[in-house]
């Protein structure tokens, strides 16, 4: 039994029903439509409420099932239609003439297929009309105020959500409509051989007319697909215009906010040195107001000088730090002590854009390395003053030991004998 409206990708197919020899031919289509009357109680059909008026988006399925046997002239035709009595009566009225006249099986199938295609086309037109209503019909070009409102959205993002829903709905409908047309193409190839059976001239024309009516409905479905494409283009244009206008307005608001913050910052900076000096002077009155004025002018001048030349100071500090960093990394690479050479290589090889998978070395190691070098210098001076021996040769030995990393490491430096003199 047909319970849920799943799309059919095979269209018409022929399968063995049982061992007696009965065959079944199945033609299945799916469609979307908009309806204002829908009872959602005890239903398995996909449906959803639409915004605005009380309307529903419904998924419809149409199934034509034919069961027959090659050796038996009798056959069974089953229609599975959406649960509306009006639609069932409409299709029944259309097929009543064909069935009552005992038409051949080929004509009955062709007429039944035409009823399904036409009913599905009517459902698609309701969705097109609803989307046109959402996107308007272009009357805003005659009303400048209404037209300008198209680029503004409310706090609930009503227009943005509407355009996004239309684009998504049109994409899904286009894909489903394309599958339906492919199913009809396969179905047409299956029923055309049935029309090649010995038929009278009149019945042959009747069969050709039924196939032609199906092709005409298919042409109307192609127009429906083109309408969906036009609606998608319009929805995308409206969405892009809305986003562009929103981006411009947000940019202007951000600019104004930045200017206000900048003004408040300058005011705070102007009063900051004055407040600092007066807060210190308020603890005692032994310095006098003259010294307070001189101090306020000096501190204020230095503060304003730093603030108004902040960009130059930042550039200068970056340049100085970069030069220092390069020299320290070069010295670190040449250092023979354990770990420093490896860290220097990591600093040298690291590229932010090229090595995204590699973690950036911590620049705190540069400070640690400088502190260690400073401790080495202090240790060298302390040992130099405490030990006895020729100062000249001792200073030469430690100097070579200090800079030996740049020429091959301190382990390869000179050795001293018991007298403290350096040996080559």
Q: And the tokens for 9?
A: 């990708």
Q: What is the maximum alpha-carbon separation in the chain? A: 132
Task: Burial-class residue 119 by CB neighbours within 10 Å (0-12, 13-18, 19+).
Answer: buried
Residues 6+ apart with CB under 8 A from 211: 110, 188, 191, 192, 195
How many alpha carbons lie under 13 Å from residue 7 in its C-beta half-sphere? 17
What pLDDT score was predicted for residue 82? 80
CB atoms within 10 A of CB 106: 22
Residues 6+ apart with CB under 8 A from 195: 106, 110, 204, 207, 208, 211
CB 405 within 8 A of CB 334: yes
Residues 6+ apart with CB under 8 A from 359: none
Q: Which tens digits make up the pLDDT trace of 228-248?
A: 999 999 999 888 888 888 888
Distance CA 401, CA 422 (A): 11
Question: Average of pLDDT values for 144-148?
Answer: 78
Who wins on pLDDT, 384 or 350? 350
What pLDDT score was predicted for residue 171? 94
Distance CA 308, CA 319 (A): 19
Question: Average of pLDDT values for 379-405?
Answer: 51
% residues pLDDT > 70 (the chain): 73
Instruction: Kindly report the pTM of this predicted structure.
Output: 0.60
* Of the candidate ranges 4-13, 210-219, 227-236, 369-378, the one whose mean pLDDT is the lowest: 4-13
CA 244 to chain centre: 17
User: Which of 71-80, 113-122, 143-152 ranks highest by mean pLDDT?
Assistant: 113-122
What pLDDT score was predicted for residue 40? 61
CB atoms within 10 A of CB 238: 20
Q: Is a pLDDT exceeding 70 seen at residue 316?
A: yes
Q: Is a pLDDT exceeding 70 seen at residue 226?
A: yes
What pLDDT score was predicted for residue 169? 93
What pLDDT score was predicted for residue 401? 40
Residues 6+ apart with CB under 8 A from 90: 119
CB 242 within 8 A of CB 159: yes
CA-based radius of gyration for the chain: 44
Q: Which tens digits make up the pLDDT trace of 29-74?
A: 888 989 887 766 556 778 888 876 688 888 888 888 877 776 777 7
Q: Is a pLDDT exceeding 80 seen at residue 351?
A: no
Name beta bridge partners: 66: 25, 77
Who wins on pLDDT, 199 or 134? 134
Q: How many helices (H) and strands (E) does the chain have?
A: 10, 7
E strand map for 21-100: 22-35, 47-50, 55-69, 72-80
Please report the sign of the dihedral spanned by the C-alpha atoms of residue 319, residue 321, residue 325, residue 331. Answer: positive
CB atoms within 10 A of CB 395: 13
What pLDDT score was predicted for residue 358? 61
What pLDDT score was predicted for residue 21? 61
The one-character DSSP state at 141 is: G
How many alpha carbons lie under 13 Å from residue 15 in its C-beta half-sphere? 9
Q: Is a pLDDT exceeding 50 seen at residue 16?
A: no
For the chain, give the mean pLDDT: 76
User: Which of 33-37, 152-156, 315-319, 412-416 ranks highest by mean pLDDT?
Assistant: 315-319
Task: Burial-class residue 220 by CB neighbours within 10 Å (0-12, 13-18, 19+).
Answer: middle
Question: Average of pLDDT values for 93-114?
Answer: 77
Distance CA 145, CA 163 (A): 20
């Amino acid at each position: 039994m047909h319970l849920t409206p799943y799309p059919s990708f095979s269209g018409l197919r022929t399968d063995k029903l049982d061992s007696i020899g009965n065959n079944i031919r199945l033609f299945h289509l799916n469609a979307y439509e908009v309806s204002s009357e829908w009872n959602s109680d005890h239903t398995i059909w996909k449906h959803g409420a639409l915004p605005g008026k009380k309307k529903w988006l419904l998924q419809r399925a149409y199934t034509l099932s034919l069961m027959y046997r090659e050796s038996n002239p009798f056959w069974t035709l089953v229609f599975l239609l959406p649960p509306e009595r009006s639609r069932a009566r409409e299709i029944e009225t259309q097929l009543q003439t064909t069935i009552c006249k005992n038409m051949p099986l080929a004509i009955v199938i062709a007429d039944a297929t035409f009823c399904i295609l036409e009913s599905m086309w009517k459902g698609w037109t309701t969705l097109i009309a609803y989307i046109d209503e959402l996107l308007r019909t272009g009357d805003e070009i005659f009303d400048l105020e209404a037209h300008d409102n198209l680029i503004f959205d409310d706090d609930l993002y009503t227009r943005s959500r509407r355009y996004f829903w239309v684009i998504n709905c049109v994409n899904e409908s286009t894909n489903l409509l394309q599958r339906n047309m492919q199913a009809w193409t396969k179905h047409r190839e299956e029923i055309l051989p049935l029309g090649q059976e010995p038929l009278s001239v009149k019945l042959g024309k009747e069969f050709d007319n039924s196939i032609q009516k199906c092709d005409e409905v298919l042409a109307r479905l192609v127009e429906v697909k083109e309408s969906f494409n036009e609606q998608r283009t319009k929805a995308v244009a409206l969405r892009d215009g809305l986003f562009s206008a929103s981006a411009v307005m947000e940019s202007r608001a951000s600019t104004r906010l930045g200017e206000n913050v900048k003004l408040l910052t300058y005011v705070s900076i102007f009063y900051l040195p004055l407040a600092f000096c007066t807060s210190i002077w308020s603890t005692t009155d032994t310095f006098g107001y003259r010294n307070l004025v001189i101090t306020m002018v000096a501190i204020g001048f230095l503060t304003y000088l730093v603030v108004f030349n902040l960009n130059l100071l930042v550039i200068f500090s970056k340049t100085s730090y970069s030069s220092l960093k390069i020299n320290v990394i070069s010295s670190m690479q040449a250092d023979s002590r354990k770990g420093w050479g490896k860290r220097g290589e990591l600093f040298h090889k690291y590229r932010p854009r090229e090595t995204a998978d590699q973690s950036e070395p911590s620049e705190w190691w540069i400070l640690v390395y400088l502190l260690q070098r400073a401790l080495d210098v202090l240790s060298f001076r302390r040992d130099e003053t405490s030990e006895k021996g020729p100062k000249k040769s001792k200073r030469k030995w430690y100097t070579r030991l200090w800079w030996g990393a740049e020429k091959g490491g301190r382990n390869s430096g000179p050795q001293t004998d018991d007298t403290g003199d350096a040996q080559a």
